[in-house]
Amino acid sequence: MFSRALSYYGRYKLRIQLILINGMIVLTIIVVMGAIAAFHNYNSTKKSVSNSVDLLFNQVNGRLVEFLESVDLVSGAVFLNNDFQKMVLLEAGESDGYDRYLNVRNYMNGYRELNHSIKGFVFVDSSGNRYVSSFSVPSELTAFLDANERDGFGDGSMMLLPLFLREDRVSSVYLGIREVRSILDMKYMQKIGVGFVVLDRNKLDSLIDDKFLKPGSEVLIVGDGRRVISSTDKAGVGKRIDESVSTEEQRDQFVTIDRTRYMVKTSRLSQTGLTLVAKIPTDELFKEARTIAYSLLFAIPIPIVLAILINLYFNILITKPLKKLTDAFRRFASGDMTIQIRYSDNNELTGIARQFNKMVGEIHELSRRNLATQQQLYESELAKKQFELDGLHSQINSHFLYNTLNSMVGMALTDSKQEIIRTVENLGNFFRYSVNVNDFVEIVDELKHLDTYLDIQKLRFPRKFRYLSEIEPALLHHRMLKLVLQPLIENALFHGLEHKQGKGLLKIKMFSSGDDMLLQVFDNGMGMDIQTLSRLNASLLSGDEESDTRDKDRRGVGLVNIHRRIRLHYGDGYGIRAKSWENIGTVVSVAIPKMERGGI
């Protein structure tokens, strides 16, 4: 899959490839930053809501304590009053029982207006006598009083009792209860009864109401037995809270109730023994976080477009000098000998430009000299110079240079700096050797030039061929005509191995044969058919340039030109012979005389 994607990617132009690469980089950065921002927003939102709920809990707790203290003050004013206790402690016969009941009732009614949430008072003395202020006593309250009127409650301070339940119906009132002790001298600090304050349930509900709650949220007060005694959702009052919710005070809980996910917080209410619970739906909790995430998704195309525009700008800056260099080589290949390259920057391409300018200048100068002396040189000298010029042109093959530069562009795209530097150095050495004015060089130098050429080709085609050499050591410092080996290897590489499937083999052998030395170049490429081989050998035998025209275009570097250069310098007894077998390979043999150091 990955290799297929790379093959599709390679079909696009270099500028498009740059845009795709940088676009993917920008997209990756944006996605990572968006994920970090979303995660941070998630935690910030959760923390903010948690802090808001804590604030609500503190407010509710404060309001409840304040309310209970106010009720406690009123109940104390009623039940711990001298007049009240004198009325309920009158001995039998001192006052008519009914009159006493009315007096106590009227007395308690006078305190109802002090707190509008108080619906009435009930006092049950030690003898079981019951005094009720003027309000309608619910049947469930009466049943409760009948069952509990003689029991003691607490230590004299106000406490709340759970809501009354009857057939799953919740009472509209609940009780504040306190034990009443005498403040009169006759029974000082003795228990004289139990006082009840009947409270409106709506008041308790109003204490937990908060308009800033998120939609779908619920705040509950939970009593003993996990029973809900007050809730912002009136339908839940009197029911037991879901078992998945822990009423123990702890950090944020996340639970699922009826297929809805909630964040749950709990807090104990001081002085009451009750638990305050808040449930916030996570859908509402993280609604803003999702909005921000969606905004990020819609905002992503903006930086991508900006990245593409910036990428186009820098793409032009990067590829413009390479295009300038390839255009110069194209003009040179078309015959313009005056072309010069100028760069204002100093980078890897500057070295190539200098060598190119030097090469073009020297070639142009050599051409000018040839033209100036054309009438003065005899035919063989003129032919010699012309063959040298042809040989030089064949080495500085414009297509080879153009393809090498294109390979460097690919290296630049993959940030292969070391490969670019290596290619630039090899090209510089290649040009330097090609423009050397010496006709003869040591074989070791010719082999080094060949290694430079092959190193460039290996960078372009890393798995296309394997190169072997067998050189007789005694011949390394003998001299030979310059620029013979490299054109032969180039011919074998591009016309023997170019269309071969798989990895090819190039091999060069050099050994002594009497007073001569024999050089052989092998390749296991496509080979030639009998007709093509016959035409080539006929051209080599005759040295006829015209008879090589058809084959020259197909075979590339022109073996006939190399053959004629060898004959011109060494005589007709030397030159090139070729053997080839179709789909098997080709062997090109070159015979030249031995020339020790210090020869011609």
Q: How confident is the model at residue 549 (pLDDT cuts 50, 70, 90)?
A: very low
The total number of residues written for the chain in this structure: 600
Burial class (CB in 10 A: 0-12, 13-18, 19+), 7: exposed
Show Cβ contacts of residue 147 under 8 Å, excluding neighbours closer than 6 positions. none
> What's the first-to-final CA gap in the chain, in angstroms?
61
Torsion of CA 371, 372, 374, 375, to 10 degrees: 140
Query: Where is pLDDT greater, at 418 or 312?
Result: 418
Give the list of residues 6+ apart from residue 192 with CB closer than 8 angstroms, or none: 85, 88, 89, 125, 126, 180, 181, 182
| pTM for this model (two decimals) | 0.42
How far apart (Å, rounded) are the C-alpha atoms in residues 108 and 196?
11
- In the predicted model, what is the mean pLDDT of residues 123-129? 81
Q: Specify the higher pLDDT residue, 375 or 262.
A: 262
Model confidence pLDDT, tens digit, residues 75-122:
888 888 888 888 888 754 455 677 778 888 888 888 877 777 888 888
User: What's the pLDDT tens digit per position in 415-434?
Assistant: 777 888 888 888 888 888 87
Residue pointed to by tokens 């309250």: 141
SS (H, E, C) 72-118: HHHHHHHHCCHHHHHHHCCCECCECHHHHHHHHHHHHHCCHHHCCCE
Taking the mean position of all CA atoms in its chain, how far away is CA 109?
Answer: 74
Determine the average pLDDT of the residues in 247-270.
Answer: 76
Residue 40: count other Cβ atoms within 10 Å of its Cβ.
11
Catalogue all structural domains in the chain, each as residue range(s) with its CATH number: 80-205 (3.30.450.20), 319-437 (no CATH), 463-600 (3.30.565.10)
CB 212 within 8 A of CB 157: no
Element (H, E) at 43: helix 14-79
- Tell whether the model's pLDDT for residue 133 goes beyond 60: yes
> If you average pLDDT over residues 440-458, what whole number do you get?
91
Is there a contact between 421 and 348 (Cβ–Cβ < 8 Å)? Answer: yes
> pLDDT tens for residues 8-48?
656 666 656 666 776 677 778 777 776 787 677 767 776 77
CB 226 within 8 A of CB 241: yes
